[in-house]
Every structure is written in structure tokens, then in C-alpha cells.
Amino acid sequence: MKKPALFLALTASVFSSLALPAQAAPRLSTQSIIVNPVPTTLEARVWVDRDPSGTRTPTYRIGERIRLSVSVNENAYVYLFCLSPDGTVDQILPNRLGGSNFVRRGEVRTFPAANDNFVFNVGGPAGLNKVLVIASRRPLNLSELSSFQEGQAFATVQPQGSQQLAQALSIVVNPVTQPIPQQDWVSDVAFFNAVR
């Protein structure tokens, strides 16, 4: 059994001014995972509890609790992923533990929430972790990217590593049939270090 970058510990009983073409291909960046090259008014932010600014790289010891937060400036569907130093990708949201991945304008959604009956602990290996949020005005179909196994609270993500995840996400947001308009989605990334 592989050790995910972020593992679930159960408590209680459950676990610019340059206008680009509308269909410009998303830029792939290993630093930011996936970047929408088209200007949009939709904004999303992601951060960890030790850095509410989302601009630094705080350090957590493996096994310590961590909370991830997101906010959007417009109503949006939020998809949250954690990428570990070994390339493992965990899908945090949506999940089967409850709650929708629809976030209202100005709302701050924290995972886990104060009333959730589970916690997140930092897993191994040691190194730089990336927390990625994709916010979309429309629901995204992640069926080619991730799937839930029987009794599993979190989806298993097939692509592993930043580049593979970026390529898979670019297909999700720009599919061959019924593409999501480029101005309808945006991404953000936060970082944290895991140490022993």
C-alpha cells in the first residue's frame, strides 16, 4: 500500500492586457501545475493553515495536522489536489465524506472543516508538497482523471507527477467535445515542506 502525501486520520466513526484566442491551450508549468493563458475575472486562492497569505512555503513535520483552505471571488466548482515530492497525487475535493465542491463567492472553505469528523495529517516522503486548486464556473468531468473505489472516501488519481497531472487537467478543462470556455476556469497553487 503506497503512502499518500496527505493521509486521512479518522476520528469519531468516519474517516493583462494581451487578449488571447478563446480556445488557447492552457500553459503547463511544473511550478504552478496548470495555468490558464486567457484573462478571466474568476479568481481562486488556496493556502495552508500556517500561511494564510498563500505566498510562503511553511514547514510541517510528517504526522502533523494540516488544514487546506480555498476561496473564490465568484460562485464556482472547486477541485483540490495535493502533489507529494514522490509524484503521488491525492484528490482532496470532491470526496465522499460530505459537502459539495460548490463554493460560493467570498466563502472560505477549509478542509477539514471544524465540524468534520476526520483530520488531515502530513504524510511522507519529506520534501516540497504542492496544493492545487482548480475553480470552474461549470462542473468538470474528472472521470478520466480520478475514480472512487468501493468504500473509498477519496478518489484515486491516475496521473502521477506534476507534468502528467497538468496534461490530464488540460484535457479536462479543454476536452474535444463541449470544451469549457477558457475564461470559465482558473487555478492557484500553494506549497508546504514536509520534514521528518
Protein fold of 6-10+25-195? Immunoglobulin-like (2.60.40)
Q: Rounded to whole angstroms, how far apart are CA atoms 173 and 111?
A: 24
What is the DSSP track for 31-67? TTEEE--S--S--EEEEETTBTTS-S--EEETT-EE-
Q: What are phi and psi of 171, to 5 degrees?
A: -75, -40
For the entire predicted model, the pTM comes to: 0.79
Q: Which residue has the cell 500556517?
A: 50
pLDDT in tens, the chain (196 residues): 333 444 443 322 222 223 334 445 555 444 455 665 677 899 999 999 999 999 999 999 999 999 999 999 999 999 999 999 998 888 989 988 877 899 999 999 999 888 888 888 999 899 999 999 999 999 998 888 898 888 888 888 988 888 888 888 877 876 545 656 678 889 899 999 999 9
100 burial type by CB count under 10 A (0-12 exposed, 13-18 middle, 19+ buried): exposed
Domain positions in the chain are 6-10+25-195
Q: All 3 cell numbers of residue 48?
A: 495552508
Confidence (pLDDT) at 8:
41
Return left, alpha or beta for 151; rule: phi > 0 is left, psi -120 to 50 is alpha, else beta: left
Q: Rounded to whole angstroms, how far apart are CA atoms 106 and 74?
A: 7
